[in-house]
Structure 1
Amino acid sequence: MTTTPRLESVLTCPVCGHARREVMPTDACQFFYECAHCKTVLRPKPGDCCVFCSYGSVPCPPVQQQRGGTGCGAGCCG
């Protein structure tokens, strides 16, 4: 059974704590994200494919489809 991935995630900046709901791309990983509050440019943590897997409330759509929405690993996108 295939579930439809969630396309929105709340990204939380690890520097200032600002949280913002964003729409995730379905066709690519998002490697960079600039915090709207403190302007810090976020990058994925080691082992994660994108900023949504590192700082989001929901992992990216490819991870949701491949792993049932839990965790992220290298090579999950693309």
Structure 2
Amino acid sequence: MGSTTDKIKGTVNEAIGKAKQGIGEAVGSEKLQGEGAIQELKGKGQNALGDAKEATKDAADKAAAAINKKL
């Protein structure tokens, strides 16, 4: 999966997780609140993974450009 895909999925999971927590709180469902918290955390992890992939790609691209410039 690419960094953009990870970030999109992460953002969606965070939003759904927050919504589940809110609905769970409104209806008094601790189970739904818990599921929401887990899904939100999963989304944050996916966003972090996307950021890491992007940073790695940027670093590799800069290194390749520097090497090509020296050749």
TM over 0.5: no
Kindly name which structure, 1 or 2, has the bigger radius of gyration based on alpha carbons.
2
Q: Which has the higher contact order (CA 8 A, sep 6+)?
A: 2
